[in-house]
Amino acid sequence: MSARGRARLLAFYPREWRERYGGELLDLLEAEAHDGRLRVATYLDVIRAGLGERLRSCGLRGDAVPPRERVRAGVLLVLSSWAAFVIAGIALQKLSEHWQAVTPAADRGLPRAAFDAVRVAAVLGSLSIVAGVLLVARPILTLIGSGGLPRIRRSLGWALGVTALTAVVLVAVVIWAHHLSSVARNGGDALYGLAFLGLVTCVVGTVTAWTVTAVTTARSLDIPWGTLRRETYLAGATTLAMTAVTGAATVWWIAVAGSPSGLFAPGFPWLMVAIVSTMVTATGLALTGTHRAIRATTEGPAAVGD
């Protein structure tokens, strides 16, 4: 690896760390290089350590930052996990369209109960997120009032731009879909398929952009300790809802797949596996975030880690 390549490795570390130790680490990498090349193990070690430093600097690992920041990091991890969960939920909603129409009445009992549970838990999770946003409404207004808008202007601009693009693509795809047969809409028209893929990308981009904006904004807010504690409870409620949705969606999938509904095409159910995998991963991350936030709240606002 060239000197420039070694310098690129530093990008895995947070800026503050690079400013303090970056030069020394580069010197060490230079000494470790044989014929200008690093071993793969060395490369992986630096990447792993760099990502670890990033987690530490944002409060998701170790006790180097105060409990207040660890609570905030844990809650924001739950929020980010929820965003991934929403994307999986949209895919599930699309996949499950008309499932009752194609499933024999005698086989609808269990999947209907599971699907209702998915909806109820999803609504409860969404309400927790909305309540969490409302809780920090005052700090957000304070941030804007004190001239803090430039700190979030960039990510907010991106989010608004991607949202506008998604709206345009959505309208175009919906108009196009009305002129196509059901067969053409479901894989018969390759060009429409591409447009639909573009719409999916836009939706994922929109959810991601707003999540980044929310995280950037939340990191700039001065949030009272009491509000952080309440945010932790809401994060716990969101995580419980995510666990319930994941479990119920899995039950629904197994129940529908076991009936002669024909909802799932023959072969390996890639999409459903991707949906459930995303839900399980997001729920696992949310559990991690909630656990970290709860642990930090027990230390109190004044405690500072070693």
Q: Give the three-class secondary structure for 37.
A: strand
Report residue 6 CA to chain centroid gap. 30
Out of 29, 77, 207, 237, which residue is the one contacting another protein (CB under 8 A)?
Answer: 29
Out of 8, 19, 36, 45, which residue is the one contacting another protein (CB under 8 A)?
Answer: 45
Q: Which is nearer to another protein, 52 or 269 (CB)?
A: 52
Q: Which helix (H) or strand (E) holds 87?
A: helix 67-95
Q: How far apart are CA 141 and CA 40, in angstroms?
A: 49
Q: Identify residues 247-306 at the interface with another protein (CB under 8 A).
A: 306
In order of 73, 137, 188, 191, the CA distances from 152 in angstroms are: 18, 15, 43, 37
Out of 18, 53, 81, 231, which residue is the one contacting another protein (CB under 8 A)?
Answer: 53
Q: Which is nearer to another protein, 32 or 116 (CB)?
A: 32
Q: Which stretch binds another protein (CB under 8 A): 26-34, 68-76, 123-131, 256-264?
A: 26-34
Does 48 contact another protein by CB under 8 A? Answer: yes
Q: How many residues bind another protein (CB under 8 A)?
A: 23
What are the helix (H) ranges across 221-269? 225-258
DSSP secondary structure letter of residue 264:
S
Out of 31, 105, 175, 191, which residue is the one contacting another protein (CB under 8 A)?
Answer: 31
Which of 117, 129, 120 has the alpha carbon at shortest distance from 250?
A: 117
Out of 1, 5, 7, 47, which residue is the one contacting another protein (CB under 8 A)?
Answer: 47
Q: Identify residues 5-24 at the interface with another protein (CB under 8 A).
A: 17, 21, 23-24
Strand ranges for 142-208 from DSSP E = none
Out of 3, 19, 32, 94, which residue is the one contacting another protein (CB under 8 A)?
Answer: 32
Q: Which stretch binds another protein (CB under 8 A): 50-58, 115-123, 168-176, 264-272?
A: 50-58
Q: Which is nearer to another protein, 51 or 117 (CB)?
A: 51
CB 262 within 8 A of CB 102: yes
Does 42 contact another protein by CB under 8 A? Answer: yes
Q: Give the three-class secondary structure for 73.
A: helix
Amino acid at 182: S
Instruction: DSSP for 161-182, please give it.
Output: HHHHHHHHHHHHHHHHHHTS-H
Which stretches of the chain bind another protein, using CB under 8 A? 17, 21, 23-25, 27-29, 31-32, 41-42, 45-50, 52-53, 62, 64, 306
